[in-house]
Structure 1
């Protein structure tokens, strides 16, 4: 299904940035799958097919072309509030090891497990704090071949600055869940001082970016540097405290409430939940340029973005089965 959609001009909350720039009409959007419920994350297999998680059903869906089936149902998932079956990542060595990684909420914690299709998952990281809100959940493999995870503070702000807590952090690990070589403190913790990280991506230069949900004022797009402290709960958005690293870009929570992100054609695409739009943020040598808003209100809440093997941009919605006509959808665009 193809539709032509207008590009809408939007403003950001960063005083140093002007209003969002105008751009040509974006490419047509294709509906890959619909009538889903609370899609959360997507990963791709070497054959080009996709694996998509549903938060509440604990299902991992297989999408081949436009055919949708259940590839796995993860046992032990306890959905509730923002928790459930969340992120997914496919091993960069999948052709030889067959590993798929998922992040999910259990009865006692958030955890990361790995599994092979047709086999039971094996937890590799446990003890990530859980709550009804702020469970984080994004998984992504970096260009270094290590697995990264974004976690939330689990509604306890003290977790974010506590180096012994896995909450409010970005974690970096080996494929068996051990601290990756070179981690700043020798633990799983790669960066700290986060509120709720739900987007992770890298550009062609190896720069790492993460989206973070703010509380009442400012959501963030950050450049991630090993060992850095991003300030929560002392700072929401930018602040004049040299202990903390400031974000590249902020929005009001009404404009964004960001989740998954993807780097595509030298732009960071940031999905917005409350903002119900897709932010296109140009990358520059020194950081980012002026953002523009795409598809504002057209598809409701947007949860994840990812670059598919065919070099199209996939976007997942998060409205629930009755939130919009056709339920939740997997969309594809040429950007």
Structure 2
């Protein structure tokens, strides 16, 4: 096919509110490097990383919950997930799915024409497990909020599936994040996993992937979203913030809390963990500052794991689960790429259960 010289793209011009996005219809189409492929984007999912990076929420100067709005206190020097400055202009979008249309001089030409999912993590493929060398697609490089994007050929996976591009674009960030969390916590069939924020993209992924490992799953979500959450297969569903969580659990022995919420309820979640239990975390959308009683931590022999940079295997395992039909997409809504601002506002407002995807 003929590759155009320009493309449509939503470009982030700086940290702040949604007005920092600019729509362009003549943005240069990127050129693949020697080991890269050029992808015509079919769909790209939204996630909290897009919101937090835009607003600079990752900066240690910010101590409030994820709101989606600009922060009055922000240090641009540590405003990304990795604690480094972000280069503008930037095309965000980590969850890109599309078709390879060209490759770099040293890349595999057999990839041309294949539908692929992009892995979120950028790696030094000579040292792929080194977290200090990791970056994120749509943060440290341009991502999928455009008609075309480039990616390292080792950081993509061809996908054989009857699912649409929009459905496939719900998996990479949410499900690989969830798989990494469960991997770090070593969840298996003997566990009972408590999942706050279960109606979100990562929460829904945690339900399915925990069940795939044979665990018992207790989900927490607002009651208006219980029907949607129930379709993902948890064993029980509780309100988002029960007045008495211990009473609501009715004697359940919680061995793992898998959390992306944090906030004021955090101490109650930790109190529910059985002796020897594990807490795994990959987010703090309700607030990063929590009350932590060290006595609960050490007297109950608890293990805490943070989970950000996942392994390449986590990504390829999720791709395998998709192809085997072992997990299902939780696609909430699609928007045209030109309406990214409206899509992200709906994501921030939690207007939908599951994932929101934009279509170039």
State if a TM-score over 0.5 links the two structures: no
- RCO higher in structure (CA 8 A, sep ≥6): 2
Query: TM-score, normalising length from structure 2?
Result: 0.27
**Higher helix share goes to which structure?**
2
TM-score norm. by structure 1 comes to: 0.29
